[in-house]
Amino acid sequence: MNFGNLLLIALKALNNNKFRGFLTMLGIIIGVGSVITMLAIGQGSKKSIQAEISEMGSNMIMIMPGQDMRGGVRQSADDMQTLKLKDYESIQEKATMISAVSPVVSSSGQAIYGANNAPTSVYGVAEDYLDIRMYNVEDGEMFSEQDIKTAAKVCLIGHTVIDNLFPDGENPIGKTIRFGSIPFRVIGVIESKGYNSMGMDQDDFILAPYTTVMKRILAVTYLQQLQCSAIAEGYTSQAIDEITAILRENHKLKDGDDDDFNIRSQEELSSMMTSTSDMMSTLLAAVAGISLLVGGIGIMNIMYVSVTERTKEIGLRMSIGAKGRDILSQFLIESILLSVTGGLIGVIVGIGASYLVKVLLSYPISIQPWTILLSFLVCTITGIFFGYYPAKKAANLDPIEAIRYE
């Protein structure tokens, strides 16, 4: 019996039980749809994270004080005072693989203007900070080297601070706001970046000269962090080695001594975030894939029922010349048709659900062609795997016993 005839017989058999066939496909539809949606969310998150890291500066390097043991107790990095202005100056003068470097000191508190106030953070930085973090001045200007030398009480503010302190749309340039009890004259506004994928507001901050924050707010002589940009992303590792050598020399560390600082790069952060995102995507896909397993079991169950119901029909076909492989092929085709049709509908459902997630929840999605092909391939294999045993059972029936079956 040729394939065309077997396909027609299989289609006729499925057409006779349309509703049962649909219910059988439902598990496959839900499984494929879930896998595509979960992978679209996972891939969307991954691309969003990579884009945000790129916006922050893919060649950015962060230097932080190291942790230390004192009296058997591990100290927090915030309590360490190993980074000094001398380190900043040395990197600025000696590092050849660095295009920009800035100290970073910060404090959280209340920003006040007139009757309006809001919690925010002030960051003490140098002029290079905008280039390192890829921020742009939308209005006004960046503070100068002279402002840094004199610890001037000037600042630039983000859009969230503007919305909180100047709700009436008043131009903040030239106005004096207070951070705690310290007055700052606003000389610039930073271009908005909005929220990142982790829900952090990238516009809720005040930038001021690092000397001002160190002397007038924190009253410290050490730095909380140094941020640098390598001359190019491909030179990040060399830049880190160069910075490490400079800091070890400054801190008089001998061979064998542990570093009293930590260096992290965006490349390292990107790799870690991508790895986490991939793991979450795999986990989500695995959970959604359980539906495919359930759908496959449903196909096996229905095919068993179909074999039992059509035992006499199988016996008649075999008695007039149909071979065991013809019966096997017929039931396998039915099983594959169920799973492939369910897979096609599942793909449409999955794509639709992905876009609903994007529209209704404003969540980033990315539907990759390989996820659709993978889901379709899996559901086809599911149809063959779970349909084979019932089909084999049908092919092995004794024609005489099958005809007598009631």
Residue 398 has what pLDDT? 72
Q: Is the pLDDT of residue 268 over 70?
A: no
User: In the chain, where are the structural domains located?
Assistant: 3-52+272-404, 81-259
User: Residue 70: its pLDDT value, please?
Assistant: 47
More confident residue, 177 or 397: 177
pLDDT in tens, 382-405: 777 877 877 777 778 777 666 665
What's residue 257's pLDDT?
86
Q: What is the pLDDT of residues 321-368, one digit of tens each?
A: 777 777 788 778 888 888 888 888 888 999 999 999 888 887 888 888
pLDDT tens by residue, 77-108: 455 678 999 999 999 999 999 999 999 999 99
pLDDT tens figures, 319-329? 777 777 777 88
Counting Cβ atoms within 10 Å, is residue 86 exposed (0-12), middle (13-18) or buried (19+)?
exposed
Rounded Cα distance between 11 and 330, Å, is: 10
Percent of the chain past pLDDT 90, that is, above it, reads: 37
Q: Quote the pLDDT of residue 356.
A: 92
Q: Name the pTM for this structure.
A: 0.62
pLDDT tens for 50-75 read 676 666 666 889 999 976 544 444 55
pLDDT of residue 293: 76
Q: What is the mean pLDDT of residues 240-261?
A: 90
Mean pLDDT, all residues of the chain = 83
